[in-house]
Amino acid sequence: MTKELEALLTELYVLVDDQVVEPRHGRGRRPELSDSELLCLAVTQMLLGFHSERRWVRHAQRNPDLRRMFPYMPQQPGYDKRLKASRGLLCNTIRVLARVCPSWSDDLWITDATPVPCGTSRETVKRSDLAGHAGYGYCASYSRYYWGLKLYLVCAGDGMPIMWCLAHPKIGEREVVAALLEHDRHLIRDGQVMLADKGFSGKDFAATTAAHGIELLRPDRKDETYRHGNLGGVRQWIESVNQTLKGQLDLEQHGGRTTHGVFTRVAQRLLAMAAGIWRNWATGVQAKRALTAYDH
């Protein structure tokens, strides 16, 4: 484990313990692994590239550096159960990290959706606990069909998550993002600009964003008069954020088999990316989503 990763985990533990996890009161035995330590372990697992929780727990129990930082490591069933029960803490930590970063005050947000495959066989589709939540969708970037969910992300220019959710791939993108903006409307500031792609065209969605005080920027369609052009260079920002989640944090290898399992594993990856961006802001690293200093 590198010094950079150890420093990130130490600072993250202090932040989570001070601003996320509520102080424990009342009687009863305290857990041997605190919630703050659990969240730090979840981030470490993602940064070190362990898809399998069983392999991760086995590695953590045998690694002297990790045992020094986390004296108690539960078995895989206990670790999995604790993580799923901490979904709210994972989301709150992402929001706290975003608020303490300079990019929280950015006037420009970018949004897009990316597939989260959950199965590759017909038998999986028929037997999965995700039936009714997941569905078939088409990924234009890779020209392929998939069965699973879609991750919708509204983030700052550096990739720091502001809003996010998982949705059925058959639901329209404009409908999902409109609902997401309505749910988190208290985060929207006057004069906010949101960059999207051509899929977010339409008068109804433009009216929805305008009602929230958001100026919507998107590439022009071929049947429209010139307004913003193709915005190709700027659109690569959100594509690079998705690539960080897929390439460095292995979003498509999440391994979740239930709704809570998929949500938890996606939140882990978003939290790991947010923690890396937060740490890179503190240390002055130019590439804010650079995670190579923490992945070995």
User: Residue 83 in contact with residue 271, Cβ under 8 Å?
Assistant: no
Q: Which domains does the chain have, with CATH numbers?
A: 106-255 (3.30.420.10)
Mean pLDDT of 57-73: 92
Q: What is the pLDDT of residue 23?
A: 82
Calculate the CA 181 to chain-centre distance: 17
**CA 295 – CA 281 distance, rounded (Å):** 18
Q: What is the pLDDT of residue 163?
A: 96
Q: 268-278: per-residue pLDDT in tens?
A: 999 999 999 99
Confidence of residue 296 (pLDDT cuts 50, 70, 90): low
Coil, strand, or helix at residue 162? strand
Q: What is the pLDDT of residue 222?
A: 76
Confidence of residue 30 (pLDDT cuts 50, 70, 90): confident
pLDDT at 50 over 80: yes
State the average pLDDT for the chain.
90
Mean pLDDT of 121-144: 84
User: Residue 142 in contact with residue 123, Cβ under 8 Å?
Assistant: no
Q: 248-265: per-residue pLDDT in tens?
A: 999 999 989 899 999 999
Start-to-end C-alpha separation, the chain: 6
Tokens of 287: 């590439």
Coil, strand, or helix at residue 207? helix
Mean pLDDT of 223-252: 81
pLDDT at 55 over 90: yes
pLDDT at 136 over 80: yes
Of these ranges, 139-143, 156-160, 230-234, 269-273, the one predicted with the greatest mean pLDDT is: 269-273
Q: What is the pLDDT of residue 185?
A: 92
User: Residue 241 in contact with residue 289, Cβ under 8 Å?
Assistant: yes
Give the Cβ contact number of residue 108 at 10 Å: 15
Q: 165-184: per-residue pLDDT in tens?
A: 999 999 999 999 999 999 99
